[in-house]
Chains A and B, each alone.
Chain A
Amino acid sequence: MVTQIVRDADRTGTGRTGINLTGARSVSGDVLEVTGLGVEYVTDGDPVRACAEVTFTLRRGEILGVAGESGSGKSTLITALTRLQRPPAVTTAGSIVFHPRDGGPAVDLVAASPKELRALRWTSLSIVLQSAMDALNPVMRLGAQFADALRTHDRSLSRDAAWARAAELLATVGISGDRVRSYPHELSGGMRQRASIALALACRPELVVMDEPTTAVDVVMQRQILAQVLRLRRELGFAVVFVTHDLSLLLELADRIAIMYAGRVVELGTADEIYDDPRHPYTRGLRDSFPPLRAPLRRLTGIPGTPPDLRRPPSGCPFHPRCALRFEGCDTHLPELVDAGGHAVACRLYDAADGGMADVGLPARTADGTEGRAERRIEDGIERRAEHRTEGGAR
């Protein structure tokens, strides 16, 4: 079935043939390559750039966390990745290249036709939405919704077999099989969300995009749902793009984390790097916005100011109005995301062209006198903020 789809995709394809029969897995471990993605909302006035130059790769079986505040473009990114966006949102730049598991040719989702997308959905690419009540059809029994998805993508499946499969799928997320005859409103919020995860996994996709799947449920249910997602990922090997505003959750769950601010990825690194060694001042501020549960308490300040209005984005680095470490030029120069050994950051503190520390992390650089411009600035900033705090109290 999947090969059939891929062949279809290839016929209409983009010329990016180079089919490797040994399988994509050996060629690259990547399932998704996003390059220079830009999404704009077309309005009467100037278009609003909700996502700009978003570039990342998703490895097979990986959980990539995307963290950001409201208005950071994370939901726009999700709808662009899954091609579920509706006007006035328009993808204006970049590509989203999907590499199928069986080594078929890569598909650019941005250029794909609705028919190609329909073939990829559920079997290769699926989504879990924040509110399960919106994702499930309220007037269809659960089993019917599963059977609908299953039988559309496997015509040989009988009705009874599809319902039986639905019961199995529900059991994998801890819902007893006899619930297939229930309507969504008969389930609790946590059960509905688990059912929608089971539905997203029904056709064994390679990539599941999750848009704040646990925001509407309580912490105990959240842990339960995430435990199930991790177990199913071990069993089925899908990759996850997990979008949330809760960085503390991602630090525990994700393999790598992308931090978004004002529509741009400002930092991308492993969960440990983001926690132990956040480079972007925004990442640092965001990390320090979550009070610890066990570590000794200290007074935290959050990040002063408010997130920018994307209709009138600040010039230069979008974070500069709130940044304690800004220096000359931050209000005019837009830093690019620069990769330094897998840990990428978009901040002029680390930018060689601006006299910063492009090769931050190299001992040679730190040994000669130029050591730690970034370091010093960050420490300065902390002191400055600490003073600020003692003067002004809670601001």
Chain B
Amino acid sequence: MTTTPAPSAPGTPAPDAPVLEAVDVTKHFTVRSAVGTRSVVRAVEGATLSLPRGRVVALVGESGSGKTTLARLLAGFYAPTSGEIRLEGVPVRQRRGRVERGHHRDVQLVFQDPFGSLNPLHRVRHNIERPLRLHHGVRGKAELDRRVRELLERVALTPVEQFVDKFPHELSGGQRQRVVIARALAVEPKVLLGDEPISMLDVSIRLEMLNLLDRLRTEDGLALLYITHDIASARYLCDDIVVMYAGEMVEGGPKEHVIADPQHPYTRLLVESSPDPGRGARDREALFDADADSLGEPPSLIDPPAGCRFHPRCPFAMDVCRTQAPERINLGDGRWARCWLHQEGRAGELARPGAGVEPVAPGALAEPAAAPTATRTTQETQ
């Protein structure tokens, strides 16, 4: 049992240093109510995260858990209240709440809403040319045209002629999100932060977007942060998963381990609650049993619970949980968790008997649709 307050690269063999990291970052917002009382929203507390080249890290949690705030901290839109954002090991400097433009050249953010993040008055061409002019000083019509074509081809918006002179409203949601990604790539960033990039897209085109992000990671070696509340899509795309709850990171590690064998009660709750098409109607009773009737809600971040923020909802809560925040415990294999169960030697209780959680060999890619077709044949000949 070892405790490390701020380890650098969690869950990575890390041949080279991370491109972007957050080190013990905290962000508080001051809000003023109508009657003038001030209160502090503790949106992110002591977050440590590192994004290595060519790896996808998923940040998973419910709404209000601080995922987006952390992404905006990493992108330099907010200055941290305490802690540090480091780009290639160098702390990012903030001046009057803003970072230098150089930071945006290396770190780009893709927003959730492709309908709101493109200028509706300008054609696709203009939307993509702008970062080229601003960040790379590209002038000259021919050069701009060449770069725009290249970018649209990279995000598979082909034939390019069909898209380049359209207005955003003439495109579907998936096409718009591709334009947003092309615009981010125009800057030639080292890090792409995706804030729920697929959650507003139609189900049937989400996978194409995930496959595109995966290709950018493998071909260009981008470091990718994928923020989502959908743990199944995180598993599909990512290498590592970090789970946030109420502004704090509670668990992290390689995806298959985190999903198959959660080491924090909140991760377990999240995984169990996520729909899984493979689970099917057969396990409905178990999924929607009496326990599921009162699972509680995340706390207010203005007045979060003392100790571990999850303790009011935790089935394992002990006295120590109510008073003292647990430390980050390294569990080997790049895994870590912040839970008193590990410090008190009760971690074994997290494994739920008969929950049907079987560890899966990581990265095992079966042949497409082989199994369902087989099932199908047997059923049809009945």
Q: Shortest beta-carbon distance, B106 to chain A, in Å? A: 24
Is B373 in contact with chain A by the CB < 8 A criterion? yes
**Residues 284-326 of chain B: 1 if any A CB is under 8 Å from the residue's CB, otherwise 0?**
1001111011110100000000000000000000000000000
Q: Closest CB-CB distance, B313 to chain A, in whole Å?
A: 9
Which residues between 195 and 247 of chain B lie within 8 Å of chain A, taking CB atoms? 202-208, 210-212, 214-215, 229, 231-233, 235-236
Q: Chain A residues near B1 (CB, 8 Å)?
A: none
Task: Give the interface size bracket for B toward A.
Answer: 35 or more
Closest B residue by C-beta to A383:
B368
The 3 closest A-B pairs by CB, nearest first: A394-B211, A302-B207, A227-B292
5 more A-B residue pairs beyond the given contacts A223-B273, A294-B276, A304-B208, with a C-beta to C-beta distance below 8 A: A222-B273, A227-B290, A252-B287, A361-B382, A382-B369
* Interface hits, A257-293 → B, CB 8 Å: 270-272, 275-277, 284-293
Some 25 contacts from A to B, beta carbons below 8 A apart, are A69-B203, A220-B273, A223-B292, A226-B288, A226-B292, A245-B202, A247-B203, A248-B277, A252-B275, A252-B280, A252-B287, A272-B282, A275-B280, A275-B281, A288-B369, A290-B275, A291-B236, A293-B275, A294-B260, A294-B358, A296-B361, A302-B207, A303-B205, A372-B377, A375-B380
B274 within 8 A of A: yes
Is A379 part of the binding interface, using a Cβ–Cβ cutoff of 8 Å? Answer: yes
A114 within 8 A of B: no
Task: Kindly list chain B residues whose C-beta atoms are within 8 Å of the C-beta of A228.
Answer: 293
B211 touches A220 (CB 8 A): no
User: Could you mark each residue 133-162 of chain B with 1 if its beta carbon is under 8 Å from any beta carbon of chain A, else 0?
Assistant: 000000000000000000000001000000
| CB under 8 Å from chain A, chain B span 166-193 | 172, 174-175
Q: Does A15 sit at the interface, judged by CB under 8 A?
A: no
The A-contacting residues of B in range 337-382, CB under 8 angstroms, are 356-358, 360-361, 363-369, 372-373, 375-377, 379-382
Q: Which residues in A have their C-beta under 8 angstroms from that of B290?
A: 227, 231
Task: Say which residue of B229, B259, B289, B377 sits within 8 Å of A375 (CB atoms).
Answer: B377
Nearest CB of B to A29, in Å: 19
Residues of B with Cβ closer than 8 Å to A?
62-63, 156, 172, 174-175, 202-208, 210-212, 214-215, 229, 231-233, 235-236, 259-260, 269-284, 287-290, 292-295, 297, 356-358, 360-361, 363-369, 372-373, 375-377, 379-382
Check if A306 sits within 8 Å of B174, measured CB to CB. Answer: yes
B232 touches A248 (CB 8 A): yes
Q: Assess whether A33 is interfacial by the CB under 8 Å rule.
A: no
Residues of A within 8 A of B (CB): 69-70, 174, 188, 190-191, 218-224, 226-228, 230-231, 245-249, 251-255, 270-272, 275-277, 284-304, 306-307, 360-361, 363, 366, 372, 375, 378-379, 382, 385-386, 393-395
The chain A residue with its CB closest to the CB of B272 is A223
> What A residues does B372 contact at CB under 8 A?
276, 284, 287
**Bound Cα distance A360, B379 (Å):** 10
* Contact A224 to B292, CB < 8 A, known contacts A251-B277, A301-B207: yes
* Minimum CB distance partner of A253 in chain B: B284
Q: Is the CB of A295 within 8 A of B278?
A: yes
Q: Give the distance in Å from the alpha carbon of A70 to the alpha carbon of B199 in the complex.
A: 13
With A and B bound together, what is the CA distance between A296 and B236 in angstroms?
Answer: 10
Determine whether the beta carbon of A230 is less than 8 Å from that of B62. Answer: no
CA distance A365 to B287 in the complex (A): 39
Contact present for A220 and B373 (CB under 8 Å)? no
State A270–B282 Cα separation when bound (angstroms): 12
Q: CA of A301 to CA of B211 in the docked complex: distance in angstroms?
A: 8
Residue of A nearest to B271 (CB): A293
Residue of A292, A304, A366, A385 with most partner-chain B CB within 10 A: A292
B204 touches A307 (CB 8 A): yes
Select B275's contact among A69, A246, A286, beta carbons within 8 Å: A246
Chain A residues positioned under 8 Å from B211 (CB to CB) = 299, 301-302, 393-394
In the complex where A220-B62, A287-B277 touch, is A246 in contact with B203 (Cβ < 8 A)? yes
Q: Are B63 and A218 in contact (CB under 8 A)?
A: yes
Q: How many Å lie between the Cα of A175 and that of B62 in the bound state?
A: 21
Q: Give A224 to B232 CA distance when docked, in angstroms.
A: 19
Would A69 and B202 count as touching, CB distance under 8 A? yes
| B360 cross-chain contacts in A, Cβ below 8 A | 294-297
Contact A249 B275 (CB under 8 A): yes
Residue contact A297 to B380, C-beta cutoff 8 Å: no
CB neighbours of A304 from chain B (8 A): 208
* Given A248-B232, A293-B231, A296-B364; A302-B206 close (CB under 8 Å): yes
**CB < 8 Å neighbour of A297 from B174, B175, B276, B364:** B364
Cα separation A257 to B317 with both chains bound (whole Å): 40
CB-CB under 8 A from A307, the residues of chain B are 202, 204
Q: How far is the CA of A69 from the CA of B284 in the complex (A)?
A: 24
Q: Which of A247, A361, A366, A382 touches B277 (beta carbons < 8 Å)?
A: A247
Q: Which residues of B contact A284 (CB under 8 A)?
A: 372
> Which residues from A are CB-within-8-Å of B260?
294
Residue of A nearest to B358 (CB): A294
CA of A372 to CA of B381 in the docked complex: distance in angstroms? Answer: 10
Contact A252 B279 (CB under 8 A): yes
A223 engages B281 (CB within 8 Å): no
**Is B277 a contact of A290 with CB atoms below 8 Å?**
yes
